[in-house]
Structure 1
Amino acid sequence: MKKIALLLPDQFFASSVTALVDLLHITNGCWGRDKPPLFCWQLLSATGDAVISSSGLKFAVEGDFSRAADADVIYLPGVGYRDLAEYERRLSSGSGLCARILAWQREGRLLAGNCTGVAWLAQSGVLNGEEATVSWWLSDWFRRRYPAVKLRAHAVLVEAGNLLTSGAATSHHNLGLRLVERFAGADLAMMCARLMLVDIRRESQAPYANFQQYFGHGDALIARSQQWLQQRLAEPFRLDELARAVGASERTLIRRFRVALGDTPLHYLQQLRLHAARRLLETTSLGLEQIVAEVGYSDVSTFRRLFKRELACTPGEYRRAGK
């Protein structure tokens, strides 16, 4: 029997916990009611006391985080926060939990994080040098705060040895099904996926993401630059032309882009073009060649490779996912 410890930090998402418990329960049923359960689980809080989820639901627990020491899998659910500054303070003050995560890694435990909860794994350092994913809306912040992590921003699920990370919200289903597959095989995982109506094959968060991470920075120079690039989306990019248009040196422009957006002007333009292409894939029946031309590219194969690299799916897969 495999033991799963679900850690419940402050403001955890209830569904990030209950959905995984439901999946484990369903898996035990599919495994066979005449057999010993395949999984058992326990809910743990920092103090061992009952804890309140971000939605106000109260959860009883079986003890504090130290009880996870004998677990095969340690899982950190998504968590809510008022703003990123508040969440950063919470992460920075969580040295006790981070120390436990490092110790569990050294002991060979499988560590799993969902949604915003992936930040706890990154904060502890166990993701340094490893591939991981996170909620799509945190991707720019995550890259800036944890540059040693090899972020696959739009991936639904990333597995790196004994580290499992999943993206936004309901990707906890994919994480849970991967645990089932890992411990009990692909056939049982597929059976559970069908019962729960979960697409076990989805690989990208991109069809659900929007462009909000590129706004709200408060830098007037960068805002003018964004507007200028938006108006000339299909034109060839020249940094010197952009700098002259907004009245700044190229060096200043690059520096301010990095501070405001965590990006370069050219990569930002690529993201802008990809965002426009996504909207055209979603809302029109235009062929890919027409869409590529609309957003400033001349070579379809180059665009297709860029789309796959940045969004973890092909344009065709993206269009089908949106239907």
Structure 2
Amino acid sequence: MKHVTILVPKGHFSVVNIEGTHHIFSWVNQWLAQSGRSPYFDIQLAGLSKPALQSTGLYEINPGRLISEVHKTDLIVIPAVHGDIDQVLEDNRPFIPWIINQYKAGAEVASLCIGAFLLAETGLLDGKKVATHWQFANDFRQRFSRAIMVDDKILTDSDGVYTSGGAFSFTSLLVYLIEKFQGREAAVLAAKSFMIDIDRNSQSPFILFSGQKEHHDDAVLNAQKFIEDNFQERVTVDDLASKFGVGRRSFERRFKQATSNTVVEYMQRVKIEAAKKEFEKAHKNVSEVMYDVGYSDTKAFRTVFRKITGLSPVQYRNKYAPQEVKKALLSK
């Protein structure tokens, strides 16, 4: 039997993460019982106080135990905690040494969504790939530079440390863990029962690119604005470096440091974001949108679009176009 400890943090914690994890793992136990087998997950909630009241005042959870009463566990699940990150980390700092000690004693640790920030405070993500909600990826990079942020991924798995992407993608990590611990049959049945898209590995289609502008490099900020205002035009790195009076090598280095993207990647992301918006609202075909955002090579456009979104232009249009557009496409 695997002992699972779901943490109940202080602050505005995610009730969905806590209850959802408990519910889905409990379902596995019920399925095993129906199959004449013993339950696998021994699930408990543990916190810093009893009861734990959300800072919003909306919900109260009464953990079965305090973490000081949990001397040994096999899997720790860290839910998302919302609000000011500095305050969140300070309020929940007592969890840190306990998580570290449990990991050293053989426990595995999983963070859900922006629970990755609390997990990263332990240092257990240093040198490891990590996923979190795409909206918080740049903030995470700035705070925890020793971790390897992969903002397009739904989940990561490294040395008994797991992370999941944003919001309800935590269910994908739970299904992944069920398969790891109980096999493919259990994972498939759980995915079907809870209508979870099994084996989904990217949150790229959901990412809204707005650019990293929380920095103080004026030349880079000006270049970002120029790229965004002129995405339909053909602009080169040399053009930008010259326009803003910076040597090319220095400009490229400063741009990557400030935005976490190369100049070319940033230009591609801006163009593809514009293309996504067109597909979401307009009746234009792929070629029309391609030309509108400054591409003339169909293969290049499709390659970059798929690289950034995880979908082809046609797949994206069919998925996110307005209902009337979808109906028209289906009638053809």
**TM class by smaller structure:** 0.7 to 0.9
Tell me the percent identity: 25
Q: CA deviation at 1:132?
A: 1.7
Unaligned runs of 5+ in 1: none
Query: In structure 1, what is the Cα distance between the partners aligned to 2:286 and 2:54?
Result: 44
2:29 aligns to what? 28
CA offsets 1:251-310 (integer angstroms, 9 cap, x no match): 786687567645454332222112112223433465545544433344444444444444
Q: Does 1:146 align with 2:148?
A: no
1:186-265 map, 5 Å: 186-212=184-210, 214=212, 224-242=222-240, 245=243, 248-250=245-247, 257=255, 261-265=259-263
2:64 to 62, 75, 78: 62
Q: Does 1:128 align with 2:126?
A: yes
Which moves more between the two structures, 94-103 or 2-11?
Answer: 94-103
Query: In structure 2, what is the Cα distance between the partners aligned to 1:28 and 1:319?
Result: 40
Contact 1:132 1:150 in 2 (8 A): yes
CA offsets 1:190-210 (integer angstroms, 9 cap, x no match): 112212122123332233332
CA offsets 1:76-122 (integer angstroms, 9 cap, x no match): 001110xxxx3135436755433333333333322101111011222
Residues 108 and 301 of structure 1, relative CA distance in 2, 3 Å threshold: farther
Which moves more between the two structures, 220-229 or 16-25?
Answer: 220-229
Q: CA deviation at 1:248?
A: 4.8
Aligned residues: 317
Q: Which amino acid is 1:109 matched to?
A: A
SS in 1 for 2:81: coil
Query: In structure 1, what is the Cα distance between the partners aligned to 2:71 and 2:308?
Result: 38
SS in 1 for 2:157: strand
Q: Which amino acid is 2:38 matched to?
A: P
Q: Which amino acid is 1:13 matched to?
A: S
Q: Does 1:17 align with 2:27?
A: no
Query: In structure 1, what is the Cα distance between the partners aligned to 2:296 and 2:140?
Result: 32
Which moves more between the two structures, 293-302 or 128-137?
Answer: 293-302
Q: Which amino acid is 1:61 matched to?
A: P
Q: Which amino acid is 2:194 matched to?
A: M
1:162-201 map, 5 Å: 162-201=160-199
Query: In structure 2, what is the Cα distance between the partners aligned to 1:13 and 1:212?
Result: 25
Residues 88 and 265 of structure 1, relative CA distance in 2, 3 Å threshold: farther
RMSD of aligned alpha carbons: 3.1
CA offsets 1:141-173 (integer angstroms, 9 cap, x no match): 122222222222021222224121111111121
Query: In structure 2, what is the Cα distance between the partners aligned to 1:108 and 1:315?
Result: 45
Unaligned runs of 5+ in 2: 322-332
Contact 2:82 2:88 in 1 (8 A): no
Residues 232 and 213 of structure 1, relative CA distance in 2, 3 Å threshold: closer
Contact 2:131 2:149 in 1 (8 A): yes
